[in-house]
Chain A
Amino acid sequence: QVQLQQSGAELAKPGSSVKISCKASGYTFTSYYISWIKQTTGQGLEYIGYINTGSGGTNYNEKFKGKATLTVDKSSSTAFMQLSSLTPDDSAVYYCARPGGSGAFDYWGQGVMVTVSS
Chain B
Amino acid sequence: DIQMTQSPASLSASLGETVTIECLASEDIYDILAWYQQKPGKSPQLLIYDASSLHTGVPSRFSGSGSGTQYSLKINSLQPEDFASYYCQNGLSAPTFGAGTKLELK
Contacts and interface: CB of A to CB of B under 8 A. Distances in A.
Nearest to A43: B99
Contact of B91 (A102, A108, A111): A102
B32 interface: yes
B87 A105 contact: no
Interface residues of B, number: 24
Interface residues of A, number: 20
B43 A102 contact: no
B94 A44 contact: no
A26 interface: no
A36 to B, nearest CB: 11
Contact of A111 (B34, B43, B46): B43
A67 B44 CA distance: 24
Nearest to B35: A104
A45 B97 contact: yes
A13 to B, nearest CB: 26
Given A104-B89, A111-B43, A47 B96 contact: yes
B94 A106 contact: no
Contact of B34 (A35, A104, A108): A104
B88 to A, nearest CB: 10
Nearest to A35: B95
Interface in A33-70: 35, 44-47, 61
A97 B36 CA distance: 13
A106 B91 CA distance: 12
Interface string A16-44: 00000000000000000001000000001
Interface of A: 35, 44-47, 61, 95, 97, 100-111
